[in-house]
Amino acid sequence: MPNVPTPSLTILIPTYDRPHEVNSRLREIDEQWGDAAVVHVQVNPGTHSAAEIDRALFRGTLTIRENAANIGMVGNIVAGVQEIATEWLWILGDDDILIPETRARIEESMRLCDESAANAAVFNHWYKSPHPLPVICNDLKSFAAATGFGDALFLSGTIWRTGHFRSHLEDCVVYAYSCSSHTLPHFSSLILGRSPVLVSSKPLIEWTGVVRWSRLEYLDQVLVLLRHPVLRPVAGEVYAFMWPSLLPIFGSALGQVRSGEVTFRDLLRVYGMHLRYAIRHRPSLLVARNGLVAGPVKGFVRRPR
């Protein structure tokens, strides 16, 4: 009997009440992976049932688990991660549309990560790096020069070694209300020098531009992330990395005021918090930004395309 290679990647789709979106993702995955696909769907119950997810035309390995109650987005991801048995994990949003090159880009990045002992790969969807990509980033400075906070924050734009992601689950849960806790594995690994992160310039999905979260709430809570004990000593450098991605969100939050979703008083309160933080960290903020835009970046290790 011929040896069948063990699947190295599981695609985890956490979902709530959108079986039609899940069915679309399954069709797209099937087109690229065929019977080599391994997909786990973790369902928070809602108006629709998990039974509406169509298994019929999916040729790969598909498991579906529905929670007894709605345990929230983070809880749903944590529950799904416990089911993963492969070395690599891709957490895919149920409404994030695959592009034709998705599989090839993921597999190439897994190969590069294996060569460099990187435990995660970030795929830029918005940030245009002045440096050639893909690269292996060994520290925060090189990471900040290769990608943006918005890309590091985009969960569907990252693949992980499953064990690495699991080892940071506690942080992801404790800081979940910061809306950005899943960036902590990147920050911790780079700041502590535990493992590098691959950054690629090639996206994995076709972003629809739909934003379902409150911009003001995000700005209100993102500073919580900087209280993490690993990040606190270099909070100025981390905030400098965040800053370019926060600017459009400030503008978008103003739009929420105009639409009546939030009050102007709340907006001023959040703006004031960020202004005080920026002033407090102004020296390191300026040093960090000046250092990040200067080249060459020693932390880069160029990998062949």
Helix (H, G, I), strand (E, B) or coil at 90: strand
Strands annotated E in the chain = 9-16, 38-44, 61-66, 88-91, 97-98, 120-123, 135-137, 158-161, 197-200, 205-206, 300-302
Specify the length of the chain in residues: 305
pLDDT digits (tens, 9 = 90+) for 107-154: 999 999 999 999 999 999 999 888 889 999 999 999 999 999 999 999
Q: Are residues 161 and 241 in the same domain?
A: no
Q: Are residues 38 and 100 in the same domain?
A: yes
| Separation CA 232–CA 33 (nearest Å) | 42
Q: Name the phi and psi angles at 44, rounded to 5.
A: -85, 125
| Separation CA 26–CA 98 (nearest Å) | 10
Please identify which residue in the block is written with the tokens 């064990």: 163
Residue 302 lies in a domain: no
pLDDT at 61: 97
Residue 235 lies in a domain: yes
What is the model's pTM? 0.88
pLDDT at 295: 33
Q: 194 Cβ partners below 8 Å, 6+ apart?
A: 188
Numbers of helices and strands, H then E, in the chain: 12, 11
Q: Are residues 181 and 269 in the same domain?
A: no
Q: Are residues 17 and 155 in the same domain?
A: yes
pLDDT at 169: 92
Residue 156 lies in a domain: yes
Q: Are residues 190 and 244 in the same domain?
A: no
pLDDT at 151: 94
Q: What is the DSSP string of 48-74?
A: S-GGGS--TT--SEEEEEE-SS--HHH
pLDDT at 52: 94
Q: Are residues 286 and 168 in the same domain?
A: no
Q: Are residues 77 and 103 in the same domain?
A: yes
**What is the token pair recorded at 187?**
């920050």
pLDDT at 232: 93
Number of domains in the chain: 2
pLDDT digits (tens, 9 = 90+) for 280-301: 877 666 655 444 433 333 333 3
Domain boundary among 171, 206, 241: 206
pLDDT at 118: 96
Q: Are residues 226 and 251 in the same domain?
A: yes
Domain boundary among 206, 239, 270: 206
pLDDT at 213: 72
Residue 304 lies in a domain: no
Torsion of CA 268, 286, 295, 243, to 10 degrees: -10
Q: Are residues 78 and 193 in the same domain?
A: yes
Residue 75 lies in a domain: yes
CATH of the domain at 69: 3.90.550.10
pLDDT at 277: 86
Which domain covers residue 114, as residue numbers? 9-206
Q: What mean pLDDT value characterizes the chain?
A: 87
Provide mean pLDDT across the span 213-223.
82
Residue 300 lies in a domain: no
Residue 301 lies in a domain: no
Say if residue 45 is preceded by a cis peptide, omega within 30 of 0: no
Q: Are residues 251 and 291 in the same domain?
A: yes
Could you report how far apart the first and last alpha carbons of the chain are, in Å? 35
pLDDT digits (tens, 9 = 90+) for 56-82: 989 999 999 999 999 998 899 999 999
Q: Checking DSSP bridges between strand 38-44 and strand 97-98, what pairing results, if any?
A: unpaired
Domain boundary among 162, 177, 206: 206
Residue 2 lies in a domain: no
